[in-house]
């Protein structure tokens, strides 16, 4: 509850203050509201850039309205004028004390107040505000504003940063004959994640590069007469030791996978090959892995064991020491008429018995109680996974694909796609994915390859990172 002070109740010397910590979201929201796109006042997403940006001066000045409108005089106050002078810059992470003090009362309702913003006693801004105070008592409930989701992809930046000291992977890029496909591969080269070998229509690749001002100097290009030939050549290069990863360009998934999964000359190594989407959604605080959404259409229980194990391995490579796996179905109870609930229960028990290693598996779980603690509590579910899942295992390809694309287009998630269980990582994204998504896939592939070769993740766990800070 908030209660105002009427003009008659105010006295010279009355004071009120709040403390506000400057966050990156404050600067982004202010940029959208004001149109001020000055890079000095915006977070820099470049990996390794740690300098805290300065808060816009007028954002600092706007903080007085929170004290005047909420505390003194409070609800019903109307701004008349405000003078401001700025003496220092506030930065992200600063705790600011925002205070007002009544200096003069002018009947019937004008109040003159001194306004100040300080950081640990250092003056940031000051000025004089004139407001029209309320003349009647007003009591209001604390208002719960609609939540804003600022589209951050902090996990993408964290994984890109973890790749900084790892060697780039020679990568056979199949049919990069479209702008996003080519520029995504070149972005991976610029970030020192991959050494691209472009396989496809050489003339078309050069034309796309020229139309986008992209430099192909030093980039190997192999001409291939068709997508089928390009995919076959990429797999051949892996066997020849010329490539340690394969990247899908602008071709159908089945055209590439036909050569990856073939029994003679393919990239199989014994375990079932499966696909994982690694999703960084602004509304979630952690990575979310979704499997399988691209390869296994209606996997059997035996195949799901490999699908789960592949996803756990990738999660560990990405710094999740003991991944929590939620096996999805339409309900969270075992129903003999719903095969996915039986599979989920079996997978959970197999995990307990050590047949699936490295993670905690629970299911069946419906989507809501897999990622929402409140939903899990409402339904009376208590487990290490419910409401906390790092990995979501879909019952079939259709469900997995719909889920991954819903996260991408409805929840603004950034997604990486990787095929696991093959001789080398296969970067598999949608043809509609942009350059950023392909760069993210490059980072995930590099981290997975490092984990395969060393048994250790190059990603610092979040808990350790927070403790260090």
Please give the structure tokens belonging to residue 123: 């003056």
pLDDT above 60 for 466: no
| Percent of the chain residues past pLDDT 70, beyond the cut | 94
Cα(81)–Cα(112) distance, integer angstroms = 9
Over residues 63-81, the mean pLDDT reads: 95
pLDDT above 80 for 199: yes
CB atoms within 10 A of CB 121: 6
* Domain termination site, one of 103, 123, 140: 140
CATH of the domain at 78: 3.10.129.10
Number of domains in the chain: 2
* Domain termination site, one of 110, 140, 170: 140
* Domain termination site, one of 109, 140, 171: 140
pLDDT at 156: 84
What's the mean per-residue pLDDT of the chain? 91
444 within domain boundaries: no
CB contact at 8 A, 284 and 423: no
pLDDT above 80 for 469: no
Task: Work out the pLDDT band at 153, boundaries 50, 70, 90.
Answer: low
Over residues 299-326, the mean pLDDT reads: 96
- Its domain, for residue 288, covers 271-421
Judged by average pLDDT, the poorest of 8-17, 254-263, 388-397 is 254-263
266 within domain boundaries: no
pLDDT above 70 for 462: no
On whether both 276 and 415 belong to a single domain, the answer is yes
146 within domain boundaries: no
Task: Work out the pLDDT band at 128, boundaries 50, 70, 90.
Answer: very high
pLDDT above 80 for 198: yes
Over residues 105-110, the mean pLDDT reads: 96
pLDDT at 111: 97
CATH of the domain at 338: 3.40.718.10
Please give the structure tokens belonging to residue 250: 């602008």
- In order of 27, 214, 306, 310, 430, the CA distances from 190 in angstroms are 29, 11, 34, 29, 22
300 within domain boundaries: yes
Q: Is the peptide bond before 364 cis (omega within 30 degrees of 0)?
A: yes
Question: Which of 394, 420, 419 has the alpha carbon at shortest distance from 407?
Answer: 394
74 within domain boundaries: yes
Q: Note the pTM of the prediction, 2 decimals.
A: 0.72
196 within domain boundaries: no
């Amino acid at each position: 509850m908030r209660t105002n002070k009427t003009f008659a109740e105010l006295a010279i010397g009355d004071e009120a203050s709040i403390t506000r910590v400057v966050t990156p979201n404050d600067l982004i929201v202010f940029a959208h509201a004001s149109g001020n796109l000055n890079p000095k006042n915006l977070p820099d997403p470049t990996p390794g850039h740690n300098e805290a940006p300065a808060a816009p001066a007028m954002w600092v000045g706007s903080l007085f309205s929170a004290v005047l409108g909420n505390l003194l005089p409070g609800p019903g106050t109307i701004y008349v004028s405000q003078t401001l002078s700025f003496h220092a810059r506030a930065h992200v992470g600063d705790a600011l004390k925002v205070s007002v003090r009544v200096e003069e009362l002018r009947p019937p309702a004008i109040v003159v107040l001194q306004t100040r913003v300080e950081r640990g006693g250092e003056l940031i801004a000051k000025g004089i505000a004139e407001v029209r105070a309320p003349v009647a008592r007003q009591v209001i409930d604390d208002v719960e504003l609609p939540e804003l989701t600022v589209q951050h992809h902090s996990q993408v930046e964290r994984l890109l940063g973890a790749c900084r000291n790892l060697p780039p992977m020679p990568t056979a890029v199949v049919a990069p004959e479209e702008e996003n496909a080519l520029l995504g591969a070149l972005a991976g080269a610029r970030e020192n994640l991959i050494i691209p070998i472009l396989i496809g229509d050489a003339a078309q690749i050069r034309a796309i590069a020229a139309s986008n001002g992209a430099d192909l100097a030093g980039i190997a290009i192999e001409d291939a007469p068709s997508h089928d030939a390009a995919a076959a050549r990429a797999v051949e290069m892996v066997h020849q030791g010329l490539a340690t990863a394969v990247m899908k360009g602008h071709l159908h998934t089945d055209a590439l996978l036909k050569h990856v999964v073939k029994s003679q000359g393919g990239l199989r190594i014994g375990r079932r090959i499966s696909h994982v989407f690694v999703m960084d959604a602004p509304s979630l605080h952690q990575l979310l892995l979704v499997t399988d959404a691209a390869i296994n259409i209606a996997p059997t229980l035996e195949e799901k064991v490999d699908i789960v194990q592949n996803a756990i391995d990738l999660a560990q490579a990405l710094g999740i020491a003991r991944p929590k796996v939620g096996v999805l179905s339409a309900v969270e109870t075992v129903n003999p008429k719903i095969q996915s609930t039986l599979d989920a229960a079996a997978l959970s028990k197999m995990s307990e018995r050590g047949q699936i290693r490295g993670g905690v598996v629970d299911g069946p779980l419906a989507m809501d109680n897999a990622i929402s603690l409140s939903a899990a509590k409402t339904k009376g579910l208590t487990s290490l996974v419910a409401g906390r899942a790092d990995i979501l295992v879909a019952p079939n390809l259709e469900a997995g694909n719909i889920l991954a694309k819903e996260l991408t287009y409805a929840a603004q998630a950034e997604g990486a796609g990787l095929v696991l269980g093959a001789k080398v990582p296969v970067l598999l994204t949608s043809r509609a994915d942009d350059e950023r998504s392909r760069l993210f896939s490059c980072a995930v592939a590099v981290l997975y390859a490092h984990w395969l070769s060393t048994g250790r993740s190059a990603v610092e766990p979040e808990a350790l990172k927070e403790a260090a800070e």
